[in-house]
């Protein structure tokens, strides 16, 4: 059974160390990663809006005429182009059909991406759209991250 510890103070660190010390002999995989909170819905909402706006621009149709299938296809196409450019592993995962045993790679849901991963993707999408004469307006959490990055640059 997997255990996860969020360590934010000395007491929680001690509890995590005790849990590791209490393990029976055997083989274990222990991963320690820097904690970061889940992204806010604003980044996800921005991606949804931008995918629809950019798709409408490409197809030269009103945004309201972008169907659900077109919207999903646009997000998939943007993920594919981004993955082909950068090859980041967080973008894909293996899917296996239990009835046929067939395996294929598919794109991960953007809701599973970290704040940094989403920021990088949104920055790429915004630049890609701009290179095709489509301006995607920065707002919310994404805009705040851009401003913060510009302050440190």
Residues 94-140: tens digit of each pLDDT: 999 999 999 999 999 998 898 889 999 999 999 999 999 999 988 77
Bridge partner residues of 103 (DSSP): 96
pTM over 0.85: no
SS3 content of the chain, % helix, strand, coil (to 5): 60, 5, 35
For the chain, give every domain's residue range: 41-152
Q: Which CATH number fits domain 41-152: 3.30.2320, 1.10.3790, 2.40.128, 1.25.40?
A: 1.10.3790
Q: Which of 117, 119, 136, 147 is nearest to 56 (CA)?
A: 136
Q: What is the dihedral of CA 63, 64, 66, 68, to 10 degrees?
A: 130
Burial of 44 per CB tally in 10 Å (0-12, 13-18, 19+): middle
pLDDT of res. 147: 72
Tokens of 34: 């820097």
What local confidence, expressed as pLDDT, does residue 53 receive?
96
Query: Residue 113, SS3?
Result: coil
145 vs 134: which has the higher pLDDT: 134
């Amino acid at each position: 059974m997997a255990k996860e510890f969020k360590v934010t103070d000395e007491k929680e660190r001690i509890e995590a160390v005790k849990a590791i010390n209490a393990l029976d002999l055997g083989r274990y995989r222990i991963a320690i990663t820097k904690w970061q909170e889940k992204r806010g819905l604003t980044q996800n909402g921005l991606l949804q809006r931008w995918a629809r706006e950019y798709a409408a621009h490409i197809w030269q149709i009103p945004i309201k005429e972008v169907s659900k299938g077109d919207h999903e296809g646009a997000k998939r196409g943007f993920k594919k182009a981004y993955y082909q450019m950068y090859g980041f592993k967080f973008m894909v995962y293996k899917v296996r059909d239990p009835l046929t045993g067939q395996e294929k790679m598919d794109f991960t849901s953007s809701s599973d991406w970290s704040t940094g991963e989403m920021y990088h993707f949104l920055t790429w999408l915004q630049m890609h759209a701009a290179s095709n004469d489509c301006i995607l307006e920065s707002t919310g959490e994404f805009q705040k991250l851009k401003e913060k990055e510009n302050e440190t640059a």
